[in-house]
Structure 1
Amino acid sequence: MKKIFFILAICLSSFAVKAQESTAVYDEKLAKELGADDYGMKHYVFCILKTGTNTTATAEEKSKYFAGHMANITRLAKEGKLVVAGPFMKNDRNYRGIFIFNVATVEEAQALVATDPAVKAKIFEVELTPWYSSASLMEVAKVHDKIAKTKF
């Protein structure tokens, strides 16, 4: 009985390895479209949004800044400059959210965050750092549009 399970396990693992090999097909055209290097990676700039120094903004002002913040996110995403954005859940680090920018330098990313009304009003402060990750992140917006029932 142990031999049967052992043989079955070997057969199943062999099939799993074959399935993995057959699904990994290099797509040169897609790699070029996404700006991937030979490893399927590319350079981005990672941004952490933190609670800013503006603690005196009224609820009405905050509402206006956040509306502008969301409009800016939408614009940058449509332009292909913002790959991923999203808020953090409540935490003890004052982290509010992240941006992943499709730019090569921190200076380019700084120019983009400077267009955010909530950053300008110091509701948020930002930390920017170069980041190297999968070029497949460039496909996130396309997939998200297909699965989001409600749009911002």
Structure 2
Amino acid sequence: MKKALVIISLAFFAVAANAQSKNPKYDPALAYELGADDYGMKQYVLAILKSGSNTTADKATVDSAFKGHMANMKRLVTEGHLIVAGPLKKNDKQYRGIFILNVPTVEEAAKLVDSDPAVKAKLLDVELYGWYGSAALPEHQKIHDRIEKMSF
């Protein structure tokens, strides 16, 4: 019985050791620069933007707030805080769009989204969630800048 247990344990450890292998393309300097963990991942914050409680029909107010919203997004991109953003298609949950923010905590993300004029005007509300994703995600902006014909 004891011998069988030792054999089973050795087999388990052999399988576990083979389940994780070193990546021959691993670049430790790049991983460090991007803040990657051993799996090439890091912590971000996902922001879900949804229709806010302010349902004003005043076009000037709405236009001004959303012009500020776009300018704020551009500022956050320039600062390296906003790495993914985009609208959502119409849905029954009143979700309007998403941000992936390059900060490790919901508290830091809340400070960033609170600077948005559309959020301040209550035209948009925000739900924030910790999200674990590829540390390479911010690098997509280098390519996007080369394919973006029109900018906001």
TM (norm. structure 1) is 0.82
Aligned to 2:92: 92
Aligned to 1:47: 47
Aligned to 2:127: 127
Q: Deviations over 1:105-127 (max 9, x none)?
A: 11100000010000000000000
Aligned residues of 1:83 and 1:138 also touching (Cα < 8 A): yes
Offset of 1:57 from its aligned partner?
Answer: 4.4
Equivalent-residue separation in structure 1 for 2:101 and 2:40 (angstroms): 17
Q: Deviations over 1:48-75 (max 9, x none)?
A: 0000000124111111111100000000
Matched, 1:106 2:106: yes
Q: Number of matched residues? A: 130
Aligned to 1:150: 150
Give the unaligned 5+ runs of structure 2: 1-22
1:65-84 matches, within 5 Å, as 65-84=65-84
Aligned to 1:139: 139
Aligned amino acid, residue 140 of structure 1: H
Offset of 1:24 from its aligned partner?
Answer: 6.5
Aligned amino acid, residue 36 of structure 1: A
Percent identity, aligned pairs only, is 61
Aligned amino acid, residue 36 of structure 2: A
Matched, 1:36 2:57: no
Give the unaligned 5+ runs of structure 1: 1-22
Aligned residues of 1:84 and 1:140 also touching (Cα < 8 A): no
Q: Secondary structure at the match of 1:31?
A: helix
Give the root-mean-square deviation of aligned CA atoms.
1.3
Deviating 4+ runs (over 2 angstroms): none
Aligned to 2:116: 116
1:16-35 matches, within 5 Å, as 25-35=25-35
